[in-house]
Amino acid sequence: MARYTGPKGKIVRRFGANIYGNPKFDRLLAKKPNPPGVHGATAARRKVSEYGVQLIEKQKIKFCYGVLEKQFRVTFNRAARKTGMTGNNLLILLETRLDNVVYRAGWGGTRDQARQLVNHGHVKINGRRTDIPSYTVREGDEITVKESSKSSVLIQRMMEENSSRPSTEWLTVNTDGSSIKVDRLPLREEIQSPGNEQLVVELFSK
C-alpha cells in the first residue's frame, strides 16, 4: 500500500480528531465536524463495532506518524519483543523515528517535510549521512544538517519558520538550530498520541 498523499483535512474529518496537531485542523473541524462525503452526517451517527473502534485507533496513530501498514506492523512486533508494556513501547519507537525527531526539533513544518529532509540525504547522525526516515535514534545521538545543505534557502526557511515550536523535553536543539541532541528516550506521558495504543495491542492480539 502506498503512503497517503491526499488532503490531510479529509483524514482529520474522517476521524473527527486533529491527529496532526496543526491548529488549522481545529478550525476545519469546528467548521466541518462530519466525515467527508455526501453521507458524512449519517456515517458520524453510525454505531461502530469493537473491532471497528480498535481499527480506527490504529489508523489514527499510523496516519499521524505517516507510516505504511507493513512498517506499522514491523514496529509493533519490535515493541512486543521489548520488556514493558507493548503499547508504550510502540509509541516510543514511533516517536524516536528519525523523521519524527527532525520534525519535533522544528526542522520541518510537518512530518512529511521532515521525512523529505532525511530522504534527500540532508541529515547526519553522529557525523554519518543517514537517509532512512524510520531509523531509530538512541540516547546520546547527535543529529546535524549536512554541511553542504546548510546553505540551502529552503532548509534555512523551514528551520526559521518552525524555530518557535515548543521544546521537546527529551531533545536539546542547539540555539542556532544546527544540531539536535537526544538526551534520553521519551517517557510515555510526554507523548501526545492521537490514538489509544492499548486498543491497538488488543487489535493485534486477536
pLDDT score, position 163: 67
pLDDT 10s digits, 80-122: 999 999 999 999 999 999 999 999 998 888 899 999 999 999 9
How many angstroms separate the CA atoms of 72 and 197, rounded? 12
Q: What is the 3-state secondary structure (H, E, C) of the chain?
A: CCCCCCCHHHHHHHHCCCCCCCHHHHHHHHHCCCCCCCCHHHHHHCCCCHHHHHHHHHHHHHHHHCCCHHHHHHHHHHHHHCCCCHHHHHHHHHHCEHHHHHHHCCCCCCHHHHHHHHHCCCEEECCEECCCCCCECCCCCEEEECHHHCCCHHHHHHHHHCCCCCCCCCEEECCCCCEEEECCCCCHHHCCCCCCHHHHHHHHCC
Fold type of domain 97-185: 3.10.290
pLDDT 10s digits, 111-122: 999 999 999 999
For 142, phi and psi rounded to 5 degrees? -120, 125
pLDDT score, position 40: 56
Task: Report, as ranges of residue numbers, the positions in the chain whose pLDDT lies below 50.
Answer: none
Predicted structure pTM score: 0.87
pLDDT score, position 143: 96
| CATH superfamily entry for domain 8-94+192-204 | Ribosomal protein S4/S9, N-terminal domain (1.10.1050.10)
Is the CB of residue 115 less than 8 Å from the CB of residue 80? no
61's torsion region: left (phi>0), alpha (psi -120 to 50) or beta? alpha
Residue with cell string 491527529:
19
pLDDT score, position 43: 58
Ranges of each domain in the chain: 8-94+192-204, 97-185
Is the CB of residue 201 less than 8 Å from the CB of residue 86? yes
